[in-house]
Amino acid sequence: MKIKTEKDIIRLIENDEWMMNVLQMAKSLELPDWWICAGFVRSKIWDTLHDYETKTAMPDVDVIYYDSLHQDEIYEQSLETKLMNMDATIPWSVKNQARMHVVNNMPPYSSSVNAISKFPETATALGVTLDELNNIILTAPCGIGDVLSLQVRPTAHFLESKERLHMYKNRVIKKNWQSKWPNITITYPEI
């Protein structure tokens, strides 16, 4: 399948029964401003662009939401437990973006999409959610160009400081994505 547009990405996910089930489970939590983001979307795209028949294993499935009223990590853990009870084969990770700025040592995020825009890599700054009618909504605050052209580069937020660029570089080296997806190109800006 050729992927050129956001609609193509949405169609790719709609045609993946496993991904749709994962989205339904996350939706069932009824969290405010919820999204499944990062590798969940990026890996599907890169697997398709590499013509892989089997999906690449993910270290986690990132469910994020924005709730300024429940900023307790224990609450997040209870949500992970609920999801594990639905499907224990999925490595769930649930994080409230209303508190993650503290963990990430950044200014407060204003929403889940604002948090996604501040992810380290443009190709990872992606998220999907379901509306009331179970239609997929895709957010790509940094665009889809890099993920579709198999480019890994820092988001504008990570380009703003040397400290964040070091974090980006260390993360990309640790992830070793080229061992899974050999056609990607990684940009390491001067620090």
What is residue 107's predicted lDDT score, i.e. its pLDDT?
A: 83
- Tell me which of 8 and 106 has the higher pLDDT: 8
Note whether residue 1 is domain-resident. no
Give domain status of residue 142, yes or no: yes
Say if 104 falls within a structural domain. Answer: yes
Predicted confidence band of residue 106 (pLDDT cuts 50, 70, 90): confident
191 within domain boundaries? no
Indicate the residue type of 117: S
Q: Which domain holds residue 59?
A: 6-186
Number of helices (H), then strands (E), in the chain: 9, 7
Do residues 67 and 100 touch, judged by C-beta distance below 8 A? no
pLDDT digits (tens, 9 = 90+) for 126-175: 999 999 999 999 999 999 999 999 999 999 999 999 999 999 999 999 99
SS3 content of the chain, % helix, strand, coil (to 5): 45, 15, 40
Of residues 136, 111, 118, 144, the one with CA closest to residue 42 = 144
135 located within any domain: yes
Provide the domain count of the chain. Answer: 1
Q: What pLDDT score was predicted for residue 59?
A: 95
Residue 89 is predicted with a pLDDT of: 98
Q: Is 27 inside any structural domain?
A: yes
